[in-house]
Structure formats: C-alpha cells, structure tokens
Structure 1
Amino acid sequence: MRTIRLISFGYLHLPTGPDGSPVPPAADRIEDVRDRLRDPAAARDILDLDGLNPRVQDVVLNTPGARELLANLADYATLPAGPRRIAIGCAGGRHRDVDRITGRHAEQERIPRLA
C-alpha cells in the first residue's frame, strides 16, 4: 500500500497569489468543504474546540454529505494511479478538515493514516 499524505488547511490562512486569491497547498486533489459541509463552528459548544476533539469529530461525521465525501475520497485514493497528496480545506482549518485526517476516522473510513 502506498502512502498518501492528507493535508488540512484553512482558506482564511493561506497566502494569496498576484490576483489576491488564496493559494492552496500543492496536492493531486484539493477538496474545498466550505460550501459542501455545514460549518461545525456554528454548532453549540464546539467553537473553541479543534478537529481532534471527539465532540467535533461527531458533529463533522454526522454532517449531511460527510460520509459521501469520505467514500468518494477513499475510492479516489485506491485508484491504480491514485494520489500522493489530498488537501482538504475549510474556512479556518480548525474543525472540518482536521477531523477528516485524524487517526480515529482514517482507518474507520478507509482513508490512509496521515504519513
């Protein structure tokens, strides 16, 4: 099995290009979850927590569309000429994307553990 590097980032914290748009990290696939998944920071009592906290992980995993996204990423990762790097970005990089790369869900959801 090859190693796939999963990168967590926040669009609000990226450097900007000459045109002023954010420059995401280099990756074979960049998944922007800002519009795709509900912002977990809006959920009660988790704003000050990060994606490593089990409460945040539960909110993210139960967000409509999250399991489908994971299944799609897992299928993509298993392609014969599949990726070496997948980047997952949200607004701040503290909740949704961090949760997707934690060891707790990596093996459970068939996404390789962070290298």
Structure 2
Amino acid sequence: MHPIRLISFGYLYLPTGPDGSPVPPAADRFEDVRDRLRHPAAARDILDLDGLNPRVQDVVLNTPGARELLANPADYATLPAGPSRIAIGCAGGRHRAVDRTKES
C-alpha cells in the first residue's frame, strides 16, 4: 500500500492562469463530485455549515453512491502504480469535498 494525499477544492474558486483559464490543483486523479453527491445547499439549515459539521456529512454520505465513491482512494492505495494525489472538487469546495480530505 502507498499513501495517497487527498486535496479538496472548489471549481468556482480555482485560480486562473495567464490565459484566464482555470488552474486545477496538482493531482494525479480528479474526482468531480458536483453531480455525484447531493449538494448540501439544497438541504435545510446547513448552507452556512461546512463539511466538517456532522449534519453536512450526514447529508452528503446519505447520497446514493457516496460511500462507494469514498472507498475509491483506499482501493487506489493498493495499486502499485496508483495515484499519489487525488483532488476532490465540488462547486465551492466547502461542503462535499472538504470533510473527506481533512487530515487527522
């Protein structure tokens, strides 16, 4: 097994390069969760919370397919030539991506 660094980011807040195009974080693999995980802003009373809050985590993790998506990095760690950096992006980078990338 090899270590994998998880990076969270928001597509809406990517820096731009000299040509004005968005510059994503440096990563070997990207997971775009905007269409794959329920957007917490659609849930009641959690818009002002972030992905570290258990209420937000509950909404996100109860999206169909969320647990399988979150198991992927563990599977990649077992591959000899698997990615060493995985960037997980959602619209703002505050709800769906952030809690899974928090270092413990």
Whether these two folds match at TM > 0.5 is: yes
Q: Which residue of 2 aligns with 1:30?
A: 30
Q: Residues 20-78 of structure 1: CA distance to partner in whole angstroms, max 9, x if unpaired?
A: 44221010101111112221121111100001111111111111121121123321222
Report the aligned-residue RMSD: 1.8
**CA–CA distance in structure 1, aligned partners of residues 21 and 90 of structure 2:** 15
**CA–CA distance in structure 2, aligned partners of residues 43 and 22 of structure 1:** 29
**Deviation at 1:15?**
1.1
TM-score (norm 1): 0.78
**Deviation at 1:18?**
5.2
**CA–CA distance in structure 2, aligned partners of residues 21 and 69 of structure 1:** 28
**CA–CA distance in structure 2, aligned partners of residues 18 and 36 of structure 1:** 31
Contact 1:56 1:99 in 2 (8 A): no
Identity among equivalent positions (%) equals: 91
TM-score (norm 2): 0.85
DSSP-derived class of the 1:20 partner: coil
Number of residue pairs the alignment of both structures matches: 101
Contact 1:30 1:87 in 2 (8 A): yes
List structure 1 runs of 4+ shifted beyond 6 angstroms.
Answer: none
> Tell me, which stretches of 5 or more residues in structure 1 are unaligned?
101-114
DSSP-derived class of the 1:96 partner: coil
**CA–CA distance in structure 2, aligned partners of residues 36 and 22 of structure 1:** 21
> Tell me, which stretches of 5 or more residues in structure 2 are unaligned?
none
